[in-house]
Structure 1
């Protein structure tokens, strides 16, 4: 075997090895991309980053309500909006409310389906200033699950929440006078149904 042939084989082997490393690297980056979504969501929920609110239990709400020294009130402003493809009406029943820090309170939003067919929606949410997200705790909320409204149906949807008294110990936000709670309803993706003629064709092939 000539030296040229050996050199060509060595070059081909190295090129194949480099190509394999590149493919594995691309697959690893793709996997990290998918993993980053739930990890980012978890990070936001734990830290309140970007105004992400917290989820609390009844026990945590009771503990907050009995905390010592929580005598301050705070204003909560309620905001509602719709994605462009969402054919609903959506609004809060009141624009603002004054609540006692540490005490649970309830807010309500009204949604109406203006179409002649069922529509399923899902609500995204955040609070402003964003630092308040770490202290805004929801016990119950319509945003926890998808909401399906029948043609012309109108519903009132509650949010049971409290502001963690720990907010008073955070120098970056302790003096805030108002927190805005915002929701945006998006149209949920509808399942793709198999056409009747395709179903029939499949059954005929099976027989």
Structure 2
């Protein structure tokens, strides 16, 4: 039996198509906005929840109360920049072997290789994921905007330790190395001020 459902009139079809188009535009704009907000949203979420793959943040007083244990663990450092970012970025030492609970400092090197002022923000990740809650950062450059003038180079420290409680976690009993990985993202590009001189962070003119 033939269907008796009414066909949409041309006006109804145009209104429906317009509505679908507006919905699609709204979704696209929302996704674009979320892309720009991804780093700060990630920062808030991870700092509040300690989500897997992220580290914990502690103050110096808390870190000072932790006693090192004669149990070594290797810490590997990894550095990346997003595609097209004109920076050199690398750890000055690829691995450290420390005692669990021991405070240690890692240094990262960054250089702006362009003729523009580049502002960047770093996100981070920890592997294996289950070790992340035990990796504690006392001082870090992550999620703090870093501004480099054309040709400027800096050294950026990370002060950290591994919580001895990791030894009581059965999911981490076989972990011999933890990798701390950073990726810098461009947040602003601008021309240098007229006549500006490039200084490194030690105040030496370059």
TM-score by length of 1: 0.68
Question: Contact 1:104/1:162 (CA < 8 Å) preserved in 2?
Answer: yes
Deviation, 1:174, is 2.6
| Structure whose alpha-carbon radius of gyration is higher | 1
How many Å apart are 1:48 and its aligned residue?
3.8
- Residues 120-177 of structure 1 show CA distances to partners (whole Å, capped at 9, x for unaligned) of 0000001100111101111111114110011001111110001011111111013200
**Distance in 1 separating the partners of 2:42 and 2:60:** 26
Runs of 4+ in 1 over 6 A off after TM superposition: 37-40
2:59 — aligned with what? 57
TM-score, normalization: structure 2?
0.68
Contact 1:85–1:186 (8 Å) recurs in 2: no
Structure 1 runs not aligned, ≥5 long: 1-29, 192-207
| Rounded Cα–Cα distance in structure 1 between residues aligned with 2:76 and 2:131 | 13
Contact 1:137/1:163 (<8 A) preserved: yes
Seen in structure 2, the aligned counterparts of structure 1 residues 39 and 86 have a Cα distance that, compared at 3 Å, is closer
Deviations 1:70-119 (A, max 9, x none): 22010001101110131100000011110111110000010000011210
Q: How many Å separate the matches in 2 of 1:133 and 1:94?
A: 21
Asked if structure 2 preserves the Cα contact closer than 8 Å seen for 1:132 and 1:173, the reply is yes
Determine the structure 2 residue equivalent to 1:17: none
- The CA RMSD over aligned residues, in Å, is 2.3
Confirm or deny: 8 A CA contact 1:48 1:130 kept in the other structure: no
Instruction: Decide whether the 8 Å contact of 1:46 with 1:54 is kept in 2.
Output: no
Contact 1:46–1:134, Cα closer than 8 Å, also in 2: no
Secondary structure, counterpart of 2:121 in structure 1: strand
Deviation per CA, 1:12-38: give whole Å up to 9, x if none: xxxxxxxxxxxxxxxxxx9xxx9xx88
Residue correspondences, number = 154
- Deviation, 1:43, is 5.5
State whether structure 2 residue 179 is matched by structure 1 residue 180: yes
Q: 2:163: which partner in 1?
A: 164
Q: What is the aligned partner in structure 1 of residue 74 from structure 2?
A: 75
> How far has the Cα of 1:49 moved from its partner?
2.7
